Amino acid sequence: MGIILVTGGAGFIGCNLVRELVRRGERPRVLDNFFSGKRDNLAEVMDRIELVEGSIADANDARRACEGVEYILHLGAIPSVPRSVADPLASTWANVNGSLSLFLAARDAGVKRIVCASSSSVYGKNPELPKHENMLPMPVSPYAASKLSMEAYARACSEVYGMCIVCLRYFNVFGPRQDPQSQYAAVIPKFITAMSRGEKPTIFGDGEQSRDFSFVDNVISANLLALETDKPVAGEAINIACADRATLNDLVRHLNDFLGTSITPDYTDPRPGDVKHSLASIDKARDLLGYKPLVNFREGLERTVAWYLK
C-alpha cells in the first residue's frame, strides 16, 4: 500500500490502529509529540514502525512526516470537550491549525488520501435523532467547533487542491488502552477503574443522557475501509458508530453485571458543553465505505472490562 502515516499514533485510537496495520504486514510511520499519547502504547510494536517525534502544527515536522507517504490516517489532536472548555486556544491550535498544516504538507508531498478523525460533537445542540450528515451542526464546545472547522478545511482543500480528504465522525469510542487517569478521561475507562475498586462513579446530570458508544475495533475497520473505498469520498464527513444507544445509567448496570458489584453512582450538576443525547445514522458509512459495526456495545464493554482487569 506504500507508506501509511498515522498522526497521533501513540494515542488511544491511534495505537490500536497502528497495531492493526502492523498485524496486516504494514510498517506505518507514526507522528506524535506525546502531549496526550503515551510511548507505552507503542512499546510492543516499536521495532515494526517508524516513529517521527513532532507536532502536526509545526510545518517542518509535518513536511518531514509526509515525505514519501501515500496515505494518512489523521488522529493527531488535543481530545476532550472539558479540556477544550478549560483551554480553547490550545485545542484550536492543535485541531485546526495543526490539521491545515498537515493538509498542506500532504498536498506538497503528493499524498493520495487522508482519513481524518472528526467527532459526533459537531452536531451539538441539534436535537434531531438519529444524527445524519445533512443536519445543521450546532457545536456547543470549543472542541466540537475545532473539529467542524477541520472538516471545513478538509472540504476546501479537496476542492481547491484536488486532494482526497475524508472525515469520519466518531461517536463515543471506547476500548483497551484508553487512559483512565487523566482528569479529562472518557467516561467508560473512568467508570471501570472506579467501580473495579469498589468506588462510586460520578455522573454529571441524571444519568439518562444517552450515547452511541462504539468499540474501537469498529473505528479501526472504518478507517481502513475509508482508505480502500473506490467511492467518491473527497470532502465528505461520515458518521462512524453502531446506530444504537445506551444511557450512563445503563452503563453502570452493565458494569455491575460484569464486575459482580452493586454500586450506585453519585449524581452531580451537568457539565457545560455536554450533549444530552447522541445516536448515529450510519447509512452513509454503509453506502460509501461498506461499513457495518463489528462489535456491539455490550460485547465491546465486556472486552474492555477484561482488558482493564488484566
Catalytic positions are 143
Angle (CA) 170 23 105, round 5°: 55
DSSP state of 20: H
Tell me the three-class secondary structure of 116-149, residue by residue. EEEEHHHHCCCCCCCECCCCCCCCCCHHHHHHHH
Give dist(CA 242, CA 249) in Å, integer: 19
**Closest C-alpha to 118, from 72, 60, 75:** 75
Could you identify the residue written with the cell 467508570? 191
Q: Are 119 and 79 in contact (CB under 8 A)?
A: no
Q: What are the residues facing 210 on neighbouring strands? A: 247, 277
44, 99, 246, 284 from 226: Cα distances, Å: 26, 18, 27, 12
Q: Are 116 and 77 in contact (CB under 8 A)?
A: no
- Residue 32: CB atoms within 10 A of its CB come to 29
